Amino acid sequence: MKTRYTYGGDEHIYVEMDEEMSLDAFFKSLSMSNAVREANIAGVTEICPANASFQVRFDPDVTAPDVMLAKIKELEHKAEEAEKRLSTRIIEIPVYYQDPWTHETLMRFRERHQDPSGTDLDYAARINGYDNAEAFIEAHHSQPWFVSMVGFVAGLPFLYQLVEREKQLQVPKYLSPRTDTPKLTVGYGGCFSCIYSVRGAGGYQMFGITPMPIYDPEQSVSYLKDFMVFFRPGDIVKWKPIDRKEYDRIVAEVEAGTYQPRMAEVTFDLDDFNADMRGTNAKLMEALNGA
């Protein structure tokens, strides 16, 4: 095991399953964090899962930090016994690639970028060996993505591409962060894609924008009335390229309260995926197409 335990002040314990993100590390982290939750350790107030790690917040007046650490370590065997099957959902997320809003924003911040001469997509295509932005966009949306974490800002999903490691897209963040990013921007940093749930600062490369809200604290959006955050860890996403006409149509449906995301219930099996990635992805997308 590569598990590492560290304290975060007096009230937090951070558990890292591996230094690098992998689906195996994600499932181990999920299994162990669930075990901590089910153990009902006195004093635990919050458990926050991440890509390949989790953090436990607790009341040190109820359980001392060294005792809490020992109790969490006792559950490490649960990670080794990690369940590798997950009942989840695959969701189609419409994306208006090369939209005017992220383009205007990225042009305002070219001095913070590795390559001021082109767009974020031009740069991403070049460093990943694609001839043009359109070929990179095809690679970005052609295979599904796995939501490994939700957070950083409320409702923001981190998405990990479901392809062989050597085929994963890799794009560094801006040299220095922007002070502005449009709400619902589809971004990319390192090996993760994301959707900016709110407008604000950011350092990920900007590829497009979705018309589909993923965070609504007022819970006025039709499909967010039960919970203000749309995504949850384990969700699978299939990007769908759309044009301006389709973007405007979906925005109008969201405002009218009639838009419903296209999705299907699926089972994701890590062993099956590792044995046949393309075949597993095809079955996932077939389930979505049949929804």
Determine the distance from the C-alpha atom of residue 133 to the mean position of all C-alpha atoms in its chain, rounded to a whole number.
22
Flag whether pLDDT at 284 surpasses 70.
yes
Q: In the predicted model, what is the mean pLDDT of residues 18-46?
A: 90
Same domain, 118 and 250: yes
Which of the listed residues 38, 63, 82 is the one where a domain comes to its end?
A: 82
* 66: pLDDT strictly greater than 80: yes
pTM greater than 0.95 (yes/no): no
In this structure, the answer to whether residues 103 and 180 fall within a common structural domain is: yes
205 vs 200: CA distance, rounded Å:
14
Picking from 82, 114, 144, the residue at the C-terminal end of a domain is 82
**Final residue before a domain boundary, out of 31, 62, 82:** 82
Query: Rounded to whole angstroms, how far apart are CA atoms 279 and 291?
Result: 19
Q: For residue 84, what pLDDT is reported?
A: 86
Q: Are residues 64 and 142 in the same domain?
A: no
pLDDT at 76 over 80: yes
Q: Both 39 and 144 in a single domain?
A: no
For residue 234, pLDDT beyond 70? yes
Q: What is the CATH number of the domain that holds 121?
A: 2.40.100.10
Structure tokens at 27: 């499932």
Q: Which residue range(s) make up the domain with 143?
A: 87-289
pLDDT of 51: 84
Question: How many residues in total does the chain contain?
Answer: 291
* pLDDT tens, residue by residue, 92-114: 999 999 999 999 999 999 999 99
Work out the average pLDDT over 53-68: 96
Model confidence at 132, pLDDT cuts 50, 70, 90, reads very high
- Residue 1 has a pLDDT of 55
203, 69: one domain = no
**pLDDT digit string (tens) for 165-188?**
889 999 999 999 999 999 999 999
pLDDT in tens, 214-227: 999 999 999 999 99
What confidence score (pLDDT) does residue 152 get? 85
27 with 91, same domain: the answer is no
**What is the total count of domains within the chain?**
2
Per-residue confidence (pLDDT) for residue 114, from 0 to 100: 96
| Ramachandran region, residue 66 (left: φ > 0; alpha: ψ -120 to 50; beta: rest) | alpha
Same domain (yes/no): 42, 28: yes
Distance of CA 71 to the CA centre of its chain: 30
With 80 as the cut, is the pLDDT of residue 5 above it? yes
Instruction: Please state, in angstroms and rounded to a whole number, the distance separating the CA atoms of residues 181 and 12.
Output: 31
Looking at the predicted structure, is the pLDDT value of residue 81 above 80?
no
Claim to verify: residue 195 and residue 116 sit in the same structural domain: yes
* pLDDT value of residue 230: 97
The per-residue pLDDT of the chain, averaged, comes to: 94
Span 9-24, pLDDT tens digits = 899 999 999 888 888 8
The reply to whether 141 and 161 lie within a common domain is yes
Look up residue 185 and give its DSSP letter.
E
Residues 127 and 228 in one domain: yes
Is the confidence at residue 80, as pLDDT, over 80?
A: no
pLDDT in tens, 258-277: 999 999 999 999 999 999 99
Instruction: For the chain, give the percent of residues with pLDDT over 70.
Output: 100
The CATH number of whichever domain residue 36 belongs to comes to: 3.30.1360.40
Phi and psi angles of residue 157, each rounded to the nearest 5 degrees, phi first: -90, 140
**Predicted pLDDT at 30:** 86
Query: Do 141 and 165 lie in a common domain?
Result: yes
DSSP for residue 223: G
pLDDT value at 78 more than 80: no
More confident residue, 191 or 80: 191
Q: What percent of the chain has pLDDT over 90?
A: 84
Residue 4's pLDDT band (boundaries 50, 70, 90)? very high
Residues 166 and 229 in one domain: yes
Q: Which has more pLDDT, 27 or 62?
A: 62
